């Protein structure tokens, strides 16, 4: 530890400010509150602050950030926009730094977010010990009043001097270069230790339950009345998630200048409390009620993130509790209530164990690809055959998806419809529903699109070997299913009996008519098709009735048959019921689900089904693994 | 082929069209991607051959309804510009009283019967009379939002308005909530897109962009009560731009 006298500390900060090429951002006053903002002089720095309006996460993951810059007057012109500005953050409290460490794990973990990585690498963090405590904070109860790592320097402001602890070589270098610091006396070290030791008792409010027990308490209280009670008062304004240091979900938008040439893709903070957080192109919202959204935030912080990363994602800063107008956002109050009036009604919300599938590319920059072939399949569905400009194969597994970009409009997740096969071409079946898919419909052969991926886990073809396969496809669910069907047909000897059931709205909605015909003619494949309804004069001689009407008539051995079901959200409940009636064990049922997706790698947060990321643990799921999840079906 | 664009006003202050003129240099980019064939506030020429019609102002009289319907039949796309056109705005306050009373109050004993210029009906927003393809809300409109709307339309994409409250933008701007400063603000129930311009500058939101479709009005009333906002104050602020939106 080093000690710096007050004048020396001022001089240190002023020298940093004067240093060219270095932005110094510290805590200063804003009205009666405090914020992190650029410092003009050391006099502005207020290390005695209680809490800032927004956490310092805004310096590493800004509220609005440019991701890509593109020029749509050219066939394919895009580059990543990175922020390489060197920064020093001064005054980060331990709880906020612990939150930054959590954010590092999420953004620099399995798939490195390059934009975050560049900014993080160029930021030096000078943390500071807590001097004043805001009314609603409860860091003492969570152990987040002190921090052990993540800082380059940690400064403790005492009455008459500053004690600085060096955390990294970069921090030590900075201190040596810009400050007049001496070795601390034992007395100074003791004063710092005492300050930290005294902190917990100074917090006005105490948690009545250890944070590592939160998961258990939440497991027992999914149906507790508090969720409804509080949600009734909830404005779903998103304030709690926006001011929270551990909230890191984001949304992505494309915008184009008035010249219709230059544009950019930006990301902006998003929150699960907002109504349209889970909105997809078809208009469906997967977490519709305020109760579900209000409850989700607590489960994410107290159960899902701990299960996934091992940390409880609340640092007790009290910002949400202070700034919530309806006064319902206080984790301390909610957890204390749950602890004291627990319903003890155990409901496991598991996250299936899945190997992380690596994505070998710069995460957010799409690759150029060409539309080679385009064929309408129905009024609203079109088949596209696409290949990457680089000539390399996509390298996908059946059941994976890509993110398709049209610059200026946006990006949409589309399942891959073709089996891996050989060569660089792959097929997408696209339904014209939202902005991206409608614009895609106007493109022609030779036009370019951007491709990211492949993402998702894909079907586990190993587990299907030697089994009878019962494929059940509803509507455009046939698109991802086809990639697996054709894969298994290409490797026919590895699978036993194959039955394909396909249902759609009416005869004009039938997709992949060529494949349907050839499946119908194949030996060793039992193919049945049905339509929900048929307008007279549609020339349909086959079955009329929903897809479930085909299931009872199928003769299968439940123990050795795997059912693979893909269709619109509403279909699953009914099909699974029929399959259970036929005696199929839960683990013999495979489904593929969809949700709103923006990143494809478990960071933007939109695709969550309880704690499960559809883009990481899915989109293919074993029914046994997710049947308990209330948000799944 | 550049889409042809025309501006029309009904009962309004023309402030929203002035905001379009206030685009200043960006106007040069604007006229690069569209051809303005009629814009009374900015130019003399007029033509009836337009693809996109921008409508500012509320609909007050039968003659206005007629004119609006004619415009709708000429235009491929119709865009409501500003609070008066989008939600009726301040113009709807008059709907509180019978038309005869309002006329007497404003025009005294002047003989106005049978004069079509004064044949007034309850105020209506544009989409209460004809189908509207896009809205640019606000009093006045936000220039950037207008530019984005035009870009979207030129691009062939339906413009999308935020469906979340002003609070989201206020928080991203790191504003200290006005409720904490003893003021009151309709931000939590008002549609975002203005970048929280009023709260950022110390004034509570008046709801000029219109309330959210799915507004949590009871939760909002609770919040206002807890902050000692009287029923009278509440109603006055709610009704300023969103008269009787929730039936109160």
Q: Which pLDDT score, from 0 to 100, does residue A236 have?
A: 95
Query: Is the previous residue joined to A632 through a cis bond, with omega within 30 degrees of 0?
Result: no
For A210, the 3-state DSSP assignment is coil
CB atoms within 10 A of CB B106: 11
The answer to whether A626 and A589 are in contact (CB under 8 A) is no
Digit-coded pLDDT (tens) for A221-265: 999 999 999 999 999 999 999 999 999 999 999 999 988 899 999
Residue A461 to residue A491: CA distance in whole angstroms: 11
pLDDT band at B43 (very low <50, low <70, confident <90, very high): confident
Residue A478 to residue B229: CA distance in whole angstroms: 56
Q: Which chain A residues are within 8 Å of B177, Cβ to Cβ?
A: 323, 325
pLDDT band at B155 (very low <50, low <70, confident <90, very high): confident
ipTM of predicted complex? 0.92
Min distance A424 CA to chain B CA atoms (Å): 31
Token pair belonging to B101:
């009373």
Q: Which chain A residues are within 8 Å of B180, Cβ to Cβ?
A: 323
The answer to whether A64 and A438 are in contact (CB under 8 A) is no
- Find the CB nearest B164 among A243, A276, A326: A276
The answer to whether A354 and A616 are in contact (CB under 8 A) is yes
Inspect the interface and report whether the beta carbons of B155 and A256 lie closer than 8 Å: yes
Q: Does residue B2 surpass a pLDDT of 90?
A: no
Q: Which pLDDT score, from 0 to 100, does residue A538 have?
A: 66
Beta strands A525-531 and A498-504 are: parallel
Inspect the interface and report whether the beta carbons of B165 and A409 lie closer than 8 Å: no
Q: Which chain B residues are within 8 Å of A323, Cβ to Cβ?
A: 171, 177, 180
Inspect the interface and report whether the beta carbons of B147 and A258 lie closer than 8 Å: yes
Report how far Cα A263 is from the mean position of its chain's Cα atoms. Answer: 25
Torsion of Cα atoms, A345 then A346 then A349 then A353, to 10°: 180
- Find the CB nearest A53 among B148, B174, B189: B174
CA angle B73, B79, B80 (to 5 degrees): 110
pTM: 0.94
- Mean per-residue pLDDT for A323-348? 94
Q: Does residue A534 surpass a pLDDT of 90?
A: no
Q: Which helix (H) or strand (E) holds B87?
A: helix B82-87
Token pair belonging to B196:
């929280």
Q: What percent of chain B has pLDDT over 90?
A: 71
- Mean per-residue pLDDT for A549-577? 94
CA angle A207, A211, A213 (to 5 degrees): 110
- Mean per-residue pLDDT for B107-111? 85
> What would the DSSP string read from start to end of A518-551?
HHHH-TTEEEEEEES---TTS---SEES-GGGGS
Inspect the interface and report whether the beta carbons of A439 and B157 lie closer than 8 Å: yes
Rounded to 5 degrees, φ, ψ at A341 are -130, 40
Q: Which pLDDT score, from 0 to 100, does residue B68 have?
A: 97
Torsion of Cα atoms, A132 then A136 then A141 then A144, to 10°: -60
Min distance B56 CA to chain A CA atoms (Å): 22
Q: Is the dihedral of CA B192, B197, B202, B204 positive or negative?
A: negative
- Mean per-residue pLDDT for A616-624? 95
Residue A525 to residue A543: CA distance in whole angstroms: 18
Digit-coded pLDDT (tens) for A376-433: 999 999 999 999 999 999 999 999 999 999 999 999 999 999 999 868 999 999 999 9
Query: Cα–Cα distances in Å, from A35 out to A55, A86, A245, A418, B176?
Result: 8, 20, 14, 52, 10
Check if A53 contacts B (Cβ < 8 Å). yes
- Find the CB nearest A259 among B29, B155, B168: B29
Alpha helices in A94-160 (DSSP H): 94-107, 114-121, 139-142
Chain B CA closest to residue A408: B155
Q: Does residue A81 surpass a pLDDT of 90?
A: yes
Token pair belonging to A195:
């300050």
Residue A380 to residue A473: CA distance in whole angstroms: 18
Chain A CA closest to residue B223: A326
Inspect the interface and report whether the beta carbons of B151 and A327 lie closer than 8 Å: no
Q: Which chain B residues are within 8 Å of A259, Cβ to Cβ?
A: 29, 32-33
- Find the CB nearest A238 among B30, B155, B167: B167
Inspect the interface and report whether the beta carbons of A63 and B188 lie closer than 8 Å: no
Q: Which chain A residues are within 8 Å of B172, Cβ to Cβ?
A: 63-64, 242, 268-269
Chain B interface residues (partner A, CB cutoff 8 A) = 26, 29-30, 32-33, 147-148, 150-151, 154-158, 160, 163-165, 167-168, 171-172, 174-177, 179-180, 187-189, 214, 216, 218-220, 222-223, 226
- Residue in the block written with tokens 């993951």: A61
The answer to whether A236 and A288 are in contact (CB under 8 A) is no
Chain A CA closest to residue B173: A63
The answer to whether B168 and B148 are in contact (CB under 8 A) is no
> What would the DSSP string read from start to end of A354-408?
-PPPP--S-TT-PEEEEEEEEEE-SSSEEEEEEEETT-------TT-EEEEEETT
Interface test with A, best of B196, B216, B218, B225 (most A CBs within 10 A): B216
> What would the DSSP string read from start to end of A428-456?
EEEE--SHHHHHHHT--TT-EEEEEEEES
Q: Which pLDDT score, from 0 to 100, does residue A537 have?
A: 67
The answer to whether A441 and A379 are in contact (CB under 8 A) is no
Query: Cα–Cα distances in Å, from A485 out to A516, A584, A621?
Result: 11, 20, 17
Radius of gyration of chain A (CA): 28
Q: Which pLDDT score, from 0 to 100, does residue B246 have?
A: 67
pLDDT band at B20 (very low <50, low <70, confident <90, very high): very high
The answer to whether A384 and A434 are in contact (CB under 8 A) is no
Q: Does residue A536 surpass a pLDDT of 80?
A: no
pLDDT band at B110 (very low <50, low <70, confident <90, very high): confident
Which residues between 6 and 35 in chain A have a beta carbon less than 8 angstroms from any beta carbon of chain B?
A: 30-33, 35
Q: Which chain A residues are within 8 Å of B226, Cβ to Cβ?
A: 327
Q: Which pLDDT score, from 0 to 100, does residue B248 have?
A: 57
Token pair belonging to A231:
């949600």
Buried b / exposed e over A358-396, threshold 16 CB at 10 Å, is ebeeebbbbbbbbbeebeebbebbbbbbbbbeeeeebeb
CB atoms within 10 A of CB B200: 15
Query: What is chain B's mean pLDDT, rounded?
Result: 92
Residues 6+ apart with CB under 8 A from B216: A234, A235, A236, A290, B188, B189
Digit-coded pLDDT (tens) for A266-310: 999 999 999 999 999 888 999 999 999 999 999 999 999 999 999
Digit-coded pLDDT (tens) for A440-479: 999 999 999 999 989 999 999 999 999 999 999 999 999 9
Beta strands A2-4 and A22-30 are: unpaired
Inspect the interface and report whether the beta carbons of A259 and B33 lie closer than 8 Å: yes
- Find the CB nearest B155 among A275, A326, A408: A408
Torsion of Cα atoms, A493 then A495 then A497 then A500, to 10°: -110
Residues 6+ apart with CB under 8 A from A240: A271, A273, A297, A320, A323, A324, A329
- Find the CB nearest B164 among A238, A243, A260: A238
Lowest mean pLDDT among A341-355, B9-23, B87-101: A341-355
Check if A372 contacts B (Cβ < 8 Å). no
Digit-coded pLDDT (tens) for A5-40: 999 999 999 999 999 999 999 999 998 899 999 999
Inspect the interface and report whether the beta carbons of B176 and A31 lie closer than 8 Å: yes
Q: Does residue B156 surpass a pLDDT of 90?
A: no
Lowest mean pLDDT among A125-129, A357-361, A555-559, B202-206: A357-361
Measured in residues, chain B has a length of 248
Inspect the interface and report whether the beta carbons of B156 and A243 lie closer than 8 Å: no
N-to-C CA span, chain B: 48
Q: Which pLDDT score, from 0 to 100, does residue A187 have?
A: 96
Residue A263 to residue A257: CA distance in whole angstroms: 6
Query: What is chain A's mean pLDDT, rounded?
Result: 94
| Residues facing A73 on adjacent strands | none
Q: What percent of chain A has pLDDT over 70?
A: 99
CB atoms within 10 A of CB A144: 25
Residue A267 to residue A65: CA distance in whole angstroms: 5
Q: Which pLDDT score, from 0 to 100, does residue B42 have?
A: 83
Check if A255 contacts B (Cβ < 8 Å). yes
Inspect the interface and report whether the beta carbons of A275 and B147 lie closer than 8 Å: no
Digit-coded pLDDT (tens) for A172-203: 999 999 999 999 999 999 999 999 999 999 99
- Find the CB nearest A54 among B150, B155, B174: B174
Q: Does residue B1 surpass a pLDDT of 90?
A: no
- Find the CB nearest B188 among A58, A237, A269: A237
Check if A140 contacts B (Cβ < 8 Å). no
Q: How many helices (H) and strands (E) does chain B have?
A: 10, 5
Chain A CA closest to residue B213: A275
């Amino acid at each position: 530890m080093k000690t710096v006298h007050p004048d020396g500390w001022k001089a240190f900060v002023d020298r940093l400010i004067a240093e060219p090429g270095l932005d110094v951002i510290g805590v200063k006053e804003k009205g009666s509150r405090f914020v992190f903002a650029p410092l003009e002089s050391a006099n502005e720095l207020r290390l005695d602050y209680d809490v800032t309006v927004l956490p310092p996460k805004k310096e590493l993951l800004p509220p609005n950030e440019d991701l890509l810059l593109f020029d749509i007057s050219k066939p394919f012109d895009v580059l990543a926009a990175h922020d390489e500005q060197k920064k020093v953050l001064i005054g980060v409290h331990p709880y906020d730094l612990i939150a930054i460490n959590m954010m590092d794990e999420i953004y620099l973990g399995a798939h490195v977010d390059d934009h975050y990585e560049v900014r993080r690498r160029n930021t030096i963090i000078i943390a500071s010990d807590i001097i004043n405590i805001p009314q609603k904070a409860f860091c003492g109860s969570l152990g987040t009043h002190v921090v052990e790592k993540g800082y380059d320097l940690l400064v403790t402001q005492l009455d008459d001097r500053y004690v600085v602890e060096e955390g990294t070589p970069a921090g030590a270098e900075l201190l040596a270069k810009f400050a007049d610091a001496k070795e601390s006396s034992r007395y100074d070290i003791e004063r710092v230790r005492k300050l930290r030791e005294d902190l917990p008792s100074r917090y006005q409010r105490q948690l009545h339950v250890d944070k590592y027990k939160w998961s258990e308490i939440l497991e027992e209280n999914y149906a507790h009345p508090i969720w409804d009670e509080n949600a009734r008062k909830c404005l779903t304004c998103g304030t709690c998630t926006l001011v929270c240091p551990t909230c890191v979900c984001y949304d992505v938008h494309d915008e184009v200048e008035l010249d219709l040439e230059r544009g950019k893709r930006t990301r902006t903070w998003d929150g699960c409390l907002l109504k349209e957080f889970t909105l997809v192109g078809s208009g469906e919202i997967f977490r519709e009620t305020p109760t579900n959204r209000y409850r989700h935030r607590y489960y994410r912080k107290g159960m899902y993130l701990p299960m996934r990363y091992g940390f409880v994602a609340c640092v007790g800063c009290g910002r949400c509790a202070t700034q919530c107008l309806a006064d319902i956002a206080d984790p301390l109050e909610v957890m204390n209530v749950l602890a004291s009036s627990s319903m003890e009604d155990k409901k496991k919300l598991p996250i299936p164990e899945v190997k992380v599938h690596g994505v070998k590319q710069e995460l957010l920059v799409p690759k150029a690809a060409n539309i080679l072939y385009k064929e309408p399949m129905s009024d609203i569905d079109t088949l596209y055959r696409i290949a990457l400009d680089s000539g390399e194969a996509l390298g996908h597994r059946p059941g994976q998806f890509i993110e398709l970009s049209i610059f200026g409009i946006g990006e949409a997740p589309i399942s891959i419809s073709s089996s891996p096969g050989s060569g660089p071409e792959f097929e997408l079946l696209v339904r014209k529903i939202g902005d991206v898919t409608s614009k895609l419909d106007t493109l022609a052969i030779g036009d370019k699109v951007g491709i990211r991926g492949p993402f998702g886990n894909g079907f586990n073809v190993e587990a299907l070997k030697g089994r009878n396969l019962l494929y059940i496809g509803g509507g455009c669910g046939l698109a991802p299913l086809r990639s697996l069907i054709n894969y298994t047909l290409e490797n026919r000897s590895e699978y036993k009996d194959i039955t394909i059931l396909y249902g759609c709205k009416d005869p004009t909605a039938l997709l992949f008519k060529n494949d349907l015909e050839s499946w119908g003619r194949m030996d060793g494949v039992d193919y049945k098709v049905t339509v929900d309804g048929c307008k007279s004069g549609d020339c349909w001689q086959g079955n009329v009735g929903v897809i479930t009407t085909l299931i009872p008539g199928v003769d299968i051995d439940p123990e050795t048959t795997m059912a693979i079901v893909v269709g619109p959200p509403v279909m699953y409940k009914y099909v699974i019921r029929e399959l259970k009636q036929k005696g199929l064990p839960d683990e013999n049922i495979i489904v593929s689900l969809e949700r709103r997706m923006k990143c494809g790698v478990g960071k933007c947060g939109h695709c969550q089904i309880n704690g499960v990321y559809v883009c990481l643990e899915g989109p293919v799921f074993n029914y046994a693994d997710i049947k308990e999840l209330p948000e799944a079906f | 082929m550049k889409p042809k664009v025309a501006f029309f006003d009904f009962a309004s202050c023309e402030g929203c069209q002035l905001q379009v003129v206030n685009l200043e240099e960006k106007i040069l980019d604007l006229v690069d991607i569209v051809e303005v064939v009629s814009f009374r506030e900015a130019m003399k020429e007029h033509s009836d051959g337009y693809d996109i019609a921008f409508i500012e102002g509320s609909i007050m009289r039968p003659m206005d309804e007629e004119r609006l319907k004619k415009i709708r039949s000429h235009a491929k796309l119709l865009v409501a510009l500003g609070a008066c056109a989008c939600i009726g705005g301040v113009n709807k306050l008059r709907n509180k009283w019978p038309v005869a009373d309002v006329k007497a109050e404003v025009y005294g004993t002047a003989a106005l019967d049978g004069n079509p210029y004064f044949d007034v009906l309850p105020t209506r927003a544009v989409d209460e009379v004809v189908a509207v393809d896009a809205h640019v809300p606000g009093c006045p409109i936000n220039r950037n939002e207008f530019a984005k709307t035009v870009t979207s339309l030129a691009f062939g994409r339906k413009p999308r308005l935020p469906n979340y409250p002003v609070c989201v933008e206020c928080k991203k701007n790191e504003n200290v909530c006005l409720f904490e400063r003893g003021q009151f603000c309709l931000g939590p129930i008002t549609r975002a897109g203005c970048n929280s311009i009023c709260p950022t500058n110390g004034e509570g939101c008046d709801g000029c962009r219109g309330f959210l479709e799915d507004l949590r009005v009871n939760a909002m009333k609770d919040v206002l009560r807890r902050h000692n906002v009287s029923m009278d104050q509440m109603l006055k602020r709610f009704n300023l731009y969103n008269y009787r939106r929730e039936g109160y």
